[in-house]
């Protein structure tokens, strides 16, 4: 996707968003209304800047077999601002999102890294909402999370473009982390272990639901599913190549480089009757 943005003749724009959400249960839920409300906390201020309810209209779940079981959910929803709900004092979830959004002519693609903390309270809740530095500096004491080793404490030793290099205090080893990732936090006594997920959303951004728009939307989902399967299992390659190690190696090299732009401009599925 980043290569697409750099293509001179490609009409794609992108931006990155960092967000902290505090999610509370709503008392006296009304039939047809959402059961929770989301408070948006300013990443760099720590103050609540808005509140929103995501009203889900309908889901359609598809079983989509392939090299890995990565299924598809089509969801229709809308967001409305709400200020009058009675809510629980303690949030049942704090969610931190690092999202890149790519805007195309008919649809948008959101790639999100999400760190979720269940039912934080007291100091943990306060620390999860404290302002994030607008820039990292050499000498800062920080902590870095990984699912294998948990939180590791260290000091910022180098800055390399979008990468922050941290020297771990206990081992002296270097940890490289993207500056916008919520796996990187200012050092604190916060000891909660987050649930980490990576999410891909493809959203139609036009009210003109022509066959062309639906074709482009569906084609992008198929292509992204193929890429996701390769990420989940990088050794996947076409069965037709079995036995020809030279072609197998070329296929694996292609996976590492990523498909060319032309791959996504091809029609991978016939949607001739889809709009009917």
Contact 114, 97 (CB under 8 A): yes
> For the residues 2-6, what does the mean pLDDT come to?
69
Across the strands, what pairs with 20? 41, 96
Residue 237: predicted pLDDT: 46
> For the residues 149-160, what does the mean pLDDT come to?
96
The answer to which of 49-53, 140-144, 254-258 has the lowest mean pLDDT is 254-258
The region, left, alpha or beta by phi > 0 then psi within -120 to 50, assigned to residue 205 is alpha
Residue 4: predicted pLDDT: 67
pLDDT digits (tens, 9 = 90+) for 168-223: 999 999 999 999 999 999 999 998 999 998 888 887 776 667 777 777 777 777 77
Cα 270 to Cα 147, 201, 216, 260: the distances in Å are 40, 22, 11, 21
Question: Which is higher by pLDDT, 246 or 154?
Answer: 154
Helix (H) or strand (E) holding 261: helix 261-265
Residue 201: predicted pLDDT: 82
pLDDT at 8 over 90: no
Rounded to the nearest integer, the mean pLDDT of the chain is: 76
Question: How much of the chain exceeds pLDDT 90, in percent?
Answer: 37
Residue 238: predicted pLDDT: 45
Distance CA 276, CA 271 (A): 10
Distance CA 19, CA 182 (A): 10
pLDDT digits (tens, 9 = 90+) for 43-91: 999 998 888 777 766 777 766 555 455 556 666 666 666 655 677 788 9
Its pTM surpasses 0.75: no
Contact 132, 139 (CB under 8 A): no
Helix, strand, coil percentages for the chain (3-state, nearest 5): 20, 40, 40
Residue 265: predicted pLDDT: 39
- The sign one gets for the Cα dihedral 188, 191, 197, 203 is negative
pLDDT digits (tens, 9 = 90+) for 209-251: 777 777 777 777 777 766 666 554 544 444 444 455 565 555 5
> For the residues 85-99, what does the mean pLDDT come to?
86
């Amino acid at each position: 996707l980043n290569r697409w943005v750099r293509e001179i003749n490609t009409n794609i724009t992108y931006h990155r968003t960092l967000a902290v959400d505090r999610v509370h249960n709503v008392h006296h839920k009304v039939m047809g209304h959402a059961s929770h409300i989301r408070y948006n906390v300013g990443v760099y201020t720590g103050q609540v800047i808005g509140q929103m309810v995501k009203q889900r209209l309908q889901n359609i779940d598809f079983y989509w077999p392939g090299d890995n079981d990565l299924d598809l959910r089509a969801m229709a929803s809308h967001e409305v601002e709400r200020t009058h709900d009675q809510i629980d004092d303690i949030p049942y979830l704090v969610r931190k999102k690092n999202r890149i959004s790519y805007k195309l002519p008919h649809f948008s693609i959101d790639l999100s890294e999400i760190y979720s903390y269940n039912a934080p309270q007291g100091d943990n809740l306060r620390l999860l909402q404290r302002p994030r530095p607008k820039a990292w500096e050499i000498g800062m004491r920080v902590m870095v999370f990984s699912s294998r080793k948990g939180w590791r404490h260290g000091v910022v030793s180098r800055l390399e473009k979008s990468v922050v290099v941290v020297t771990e205090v206990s081992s002296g080893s270097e940890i490289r982390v993207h500056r916008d990732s919520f796996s990187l936090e200012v050092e604190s006594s916060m000891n909660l272990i987050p649930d980490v997920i990576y999410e891909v959303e493809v959203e139609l951004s036009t009210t003109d639901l022509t066959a062309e728009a639906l074709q482009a939307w569906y084609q992008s989902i198929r292509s992204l599913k193929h890429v996701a399967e390769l990420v989940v299992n990088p050794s996947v390659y076409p069965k037709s190549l079995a036995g020809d190690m030279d072609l197998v190696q070329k296929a694996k090299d292609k996976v590492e480089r990523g498909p060319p732009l032309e791959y996504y401009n091809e029609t991978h599925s016939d949607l001739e009757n889809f709009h009917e």
